[in-house]
Structure 1
């Protein structure tokens, strides 16, 4: 390692060049053919499979695993993609340990589930390598739909609408499509530009135009979209970041975790991403864990993740928490930030310990910190939106909003759990409802 690897301050190139590739290699290396067959052979192919019920996209998991077991992985992929067109990404980032694999009969009986997520990746990767698209676009309906947001919900909706023969224009504020798949997920979960490869593959259905750097409220209005298109689907995500609201929150070195992750994901050379010696991440969700783990992988000496409640209340799964701990991240719970200290740049952060009712105990903790990442949740940005429920767009069945001809899904809509797989399901279901409405079949 370079001599200054543990010196204070925010620096780049803290590690030897070869270390970056090693640290950010694929979190779950893909199964080879033999491994996939062995893993598939463990499935009981349950008739009333609990794993199907646990999957937000209702994939017929026993069927696709049986298809792998019988040597037809491309058929398995089509079974997956019929329900979840972004099955490749979901196989990499979906918390299967708390969904399908948690209820797997093998998990319940033996404590070791069938490797559903890795088998899903095996099948979808096999098909995508063929370079062909398994779905055929229907004849044109003459209807046009605007989709605002090129993240999982928007792309899922666009693909299903295009399959039905509608012409879709996807508008996104970012220079690349993919949303959080491209900008908001840890680099070691989706290496080798997989997010862009999946989008390019998805667009082979035809009938989908993507307009980059086109933001709602800046480059177009919802009223104009309703006037110019037969239907609108809002999948804008949550563009705002919640503030801490404490003294020193504006000091140099204090940034949002989502911005750090996006910078890292877009970096052509990870050695050029600056990182501190003493890093503190505030929050308890997947974004907080992704930021903390990647800070450690970039060469930070001390990385502490601090959450206001207990570990059992963290949105990050136990697997993600254990992953952070295995990488050397210290997790502190039941502590809330009260102040940041330093002249211009942050040097320390102060916390107060709280009890289970979030009442202050009077006990404090001060941590050295030259870099602090806020990961305390995001909020909806935008004006002239449909009716809200709390901080999100209020939706009824299949994503219908309070405005006629406008649907919504993904993180910006109420009712979801802010998972990629849930966003895909909401985009798919909204597209089916939009299609029935556009074609005059509300039943």
Structure 2
């Protein structure tokens, strides 16, 4: 993000002291100590038909790993987790467990307080990774090579599973660092101590994976060349385009996308040098909107408002995320859509129109209002950019089968760029893993 200019006087750095910033961006959910994990695991009923497993996109055997923690074998628990979700450490930190496994926990249904599955998963995976161990061994080389484009959750998951099967994998990414949204798109208070990079270093211990950064599909990489140089290709390129507000004045200074703001924050070596507005408005209703809004507040913004075009119950951000935002002083305004961005060169106010929904259709009411803003973040979704020719699209994403196969032979895709998913880290991991199994079966003549 650029430094404040005369056109954006309200955007400045150094609003808070270094000590306050350190406290503000501390771990959202502190790790369990061993005795805390023992107590938490003892609350599990170890259900035979565990609904938590059904709710987990990666099908982790949750009762088994919790019992393994209870019996004092957290490293065994970690292997149970990682066998299904190789990025189980990050998912334990960022997965919306409150709307997945924990929401259907029998304890939640009966008592309103679920077993804290996410924190128990973190305890197990952190224990194993802290010991420097990698629980999987690489199979004998198959002599086959696979190109994986995109080193985000889907690509990393796919690459690890392929390498474990004995294939040679080259993992390409357009950025200077691997990790995708885990590295660039997650709120800093959810992933502290450079954990995303640590997890990648640990994952690569399987061997057989070469990482090449600064390599972009459509730029230095072409799909035709990748197909000719490798036996298979997996695309986990994510969504790099930012949707437009379609509001007058969107081009004014002080208006930017929330994803870039979060990326800048995650890569900042000194949060005190990161500028933020005094009056910040975030347009959108998903987790990116909440992450941008909360972090703006934690950086020292005085007034932060999230505006969403539909009702609170339709926000992509979970009730937990909404409550988190409110607890940090973020004001959420539902049922309003942007009309215009006002200001003389830089944003000064954002005009909104109240909305109503009838039979699922959104409509403006004609009544408008304005909110003061010197910084406006767009968090209204992303779009696929640079999809190679020849790939069939479904809507704005790459059309894939249940196992990630695209319309082009020898090419698979998964994660946010592919159709069918719900744009969660844990779902991307599952899609990368399943595509890798399909690629392996195909390369070895099983299909």
Q: TM-score range by the shorter chain?
A: over 0.9
The answer as to 2:378 corresponding to 1:374 is: yes
Question: 1:267: which partner in 2?
Answer: 268
The answer as to 2:432 corresponding to 1:427 is: yes
Residues 8, 277 of structure 1: 8 Å contact kept: no
SS of the equivalent of 1:366 reads: strand
What is the alpha-carbon distance in structure 1 between the residues aligned to residue 132 and residue 353 of structure 2? 55
Note the alpha carbon deviations across 1:79-131, whole angstroms, 9 max, x for none. Answer: 00000000000000000000000000111111110010000000000000011
Question: 2:4: which partner in 1?
Answer: none
What is the alpha-carbon distance in structure 2 between the residues aligned to residue 326 and residue 30 of structure 1? 21
What is the deviation of 1:17? 1.8
What is the alpha-carbon distance in structure 1 between the residues aligned to residue 221 and residue 49 of structure 2? 47
What is the alpha-carbon distance in structure 1 between the residues aligned to residue 186 and residue 194 of structure 2? 12
The answer as to 2:419 corresponding to 1:403 is: no
What TM-score, normalized to structure 2? 0.97
The answer as to 2:367 corresponding to 1:363 is: yes
**Consecutive aligned runs of 4 or more in structure 1 exceeding 3 Å deviation:** none
What is the deviation of 1:390? 0.2
What is the alpha-carbon distance in structure 1 between the residues aligned to residue 171 and residue 9 of structure 2? 44
Question: 1:245: which partner in 2?
Answer: 246
Q: How many matched pairs?
A: 436
SS of the equivalent of 1:150 reads: coil
Question: 2:330: which partner in 1?
Answer: 329
Measured on the aligned residues, the alpha-carbon RMSD in Å equals 0.9
What is the deviation of 1:383? 4.0
The answer as to 2:64 corresponding to 1:63 is: yes
Question: 2:48: which partner in 1?
Answer: 47
SS of the equivalent of 1:398 reads: coil
Question: 2:117: which partner in 1?
Answer: 116
SS of the equivalent of 2:156 reads: helix
Residues 8, 278 of structure 1: 8 Å contact kept: no
What is the alpha-carbon distance in structure 1 between the residues aligned to residue 198 and residue 426 of structure 2? 18
SS of the equivalent of 1:355 reads: strand
SS of the equivalent of 2:83 reads: helix
Structure 2 residue runs of 5 or longer lacking an equivalent are 1-7
Question: 1:3: which partner in 2?
Answer: none
What is the deviation of 1:247? 1.1
Structure 1 residue runs of 5 or longer lacking an equivalent are 1-6
What is the alpha-carbon distance in structure 1 between the residues aligned to residue 234 and residue 92 of structure 2? 25
What is the deviation of 1:246? 1.4
Question: 1:388: which partner in 2?
Answer: 393
What is the alpha-carbon distance in structure 2 between the residues aligned to residue 94 and residue 17 of structure 1? 29
Question: 2:89: which partner in 1?
Answer: 88
Question: 1:205: which partner in 2?
Answer: 206
What is the deviation of 1:8? 6.0
What TM-score, normalized to structure 1? 0.98
What is the alpha-carbon distance in structure 2 between the residues aligned to residue 64 and residue 245 of structure 1? 48
